[in-house]
Amino acid sequence: MDIHEHQAKDILAKFGVPVPQGGLAYSPEQAAFQAREIGLPVVIKAQIHSGGRGEAGGVKFCRTDEEVRQFAADILGRQLVTKQSGPAGKGVYRLWVEAATDIAQEIYLGFVLDRKSERIMIVASGAGGMEIEDLAENDPDSLVRMIVDPASGLCDFEARELAFRLGMSGPQIGQMVNTLRACYRAYRDLDATMVEINPLAITGSGDLVALDAKMSFDTNAMFRRPEVAALRDLSQEDPREAMAAQSDLSYIGLDGDIGCIINGAGLAMATMDMIKLAGAEPANFLDIGGGASAERVVTAFRTVLTDPNVSVILVNIFAGINRCDWIAAGVVQAYKEVGMTIPVVVRLAGTNVEEGRRILETADVPIITAGTLAEAAEAAVKARPNAAAA
């Protein structure tokens, strides 16, 4: 789960990270008010879940009240397309108005999960302001990496060593130690998967201040972090994925036209591979999980059908905890309730498979059945409306 820059800054400030004075605005009038309260000049930033806002025109330095109002009026309500947002862009519905900072140097600072070492890794660079992918490609020697031992946490001497490696000296070292330890505590205590400050600026007076911040969190841990879960902004997410999340379904939207309803992540991945081998592209990843009721299957159908590109639905169930008769009843119920107008291919295996197949065969709905995964994928590809023309 991602959150906005201003939310990440608020969290990090509570842990002790220095941030500039700022305020939130939802209209040009609010933006102008915040600018007057902070004091001009200010920097206005579009709040979207995407990097590359500056290059896309989502960040502006404003010296006057009129500049603030004009920029806010121009960008609010727009779809801001960045190099990370995809062609559809992200909607701009809120702005962060922030005091301008005298920047002498920019530093990149990131905390991520290193799956190889199974530890938190700190990645830093003296060439901040760039995306980490660009840093790794254009200036790999500037990257400093450090693995944190979870038994001891981030120690002062480790933080000082990192500050030295970034070329810091004098009072900056103590500030950097405090910033690093604050970021580490925020990551650890809130079940984060990423904490990034880019840039962490050294001001003209030699102080450190976080000018931008990103945080991502483990969605599976949000049941114990309600204060973080409340920060979720569904307007920044794929509406299909947002709808699925509300129904507790594991869903990821893709670009194909064959909708998938499957139980088990491994089987879902295998099914998508088989669809590609059969000559088509999956429209989504959807895992309905174990113990799915008929009502849950209906919800899965409704979720998949929110994608207008879906021309066929493939249901592939290997029942263990699940039961094939539950799934079959759900498929029939969904066909009738949703008013299905596209082909549906169903492959069942496992617990109560004979009863499940009987329900499908005796139902008064034109469902295509298959015995194996390969047969199901081929049937789904052939059932597409454009298959005959191809």
Question: Per residue in 192-215, pLDDT tens?
Answer: 999 999 999 999 999 999 999 999
Do residues 88 and 80 make contact, with C-beta atoms less than 8 angstroms apart?
no
263 pLDDT tier (thresholds 50, 70, 90): confident
Q: What are phi and psi of 260, to 5 degrees?
A: -120, 130
Q: Is 390 exposed, middle or buried (0-12, 13-18, 19+ CB in 10 A)?
A: exposed
Catalytic residue, chosen from 5, 67, 108, 158, is 108
112 pLDDT tier (thresholds 50, 70, 90): very high
In the annotation, is 26 catalytic? no
**Binding residue positions for Mg(2+):** 198, 212
- For residue 390, pLDDT beyond 50: no
The stretch 82-109 carries a mean pLDDT of: 92
**Binding residue positions for ATP:** 45, 52-54, 98, 101, 106
Catalytic residue, chosen from 5, 67, 158, 196, is 196
Element (H, E) at 183: helix 171-189
**Binding residue positions for substrate:** 263
- For residue 342, pLDDT beyond 50: yes
**Binding residue positions:** 45, 52-54, 98, 101, 106, 198, 212, 263
What spatial distance separates the first Cα and last Cα of the chain, rounded to whole Å?
40
Cα gap 145→184, rounded to integer Å? 14
Instruction: Give the three-class secondary structure for 375.
Output: helix
Domain chopping of the chain, boundaries: 1-19+102-237, 21-100, 238-383
For residue 40, give both structure tokens: 């001009």
Lowest mean pLDDT among 88-97, 218-227, 290-299: 290-299
Residue 389 pLDDT: 46
Please provide the average confidence, as pLDDT, over all residues in the chain: 90
In the annotation, is 131 catalytic? no
**CATH number assigned to the domain covering 21-100:** 3.30.1490.20
Residue 374 pLDDT: 93
The stretch 101-128 carries a mean pLDDT of: 93
Assigned superfamily of 1-19+102-237: ATP-grasp fold, B domain (3.30.470.20)
For residue 321, give both structure tokens: 């905890």
For residue 17, give both structure tokens: 């990270």
Instruction: Give the three-class secondary structure for 222.
Output: helix
Q: Percent of the chain having pLDDT more than 70?
A: 97
248 pLDDT tier (thresholds 50, 70, 90): confident
Do residues 109 and 199 make contact, with C-beta atoms less than 8 angstroms apart?
no
319, 317, 331, 322: which is closest to 359 by C-alpha? 331
76 pLDDT tier (thresholds 50, 70, 90): very high
Class of domain 238-383: alpha beta
How many CB atoms sit inside 10 A of residue 112's CB? 17
- For residue 9, pLDDT beyond 50: yes
Q: Do domains 1-19+102-237 and 21-100 have the same CATH topology?
A: no
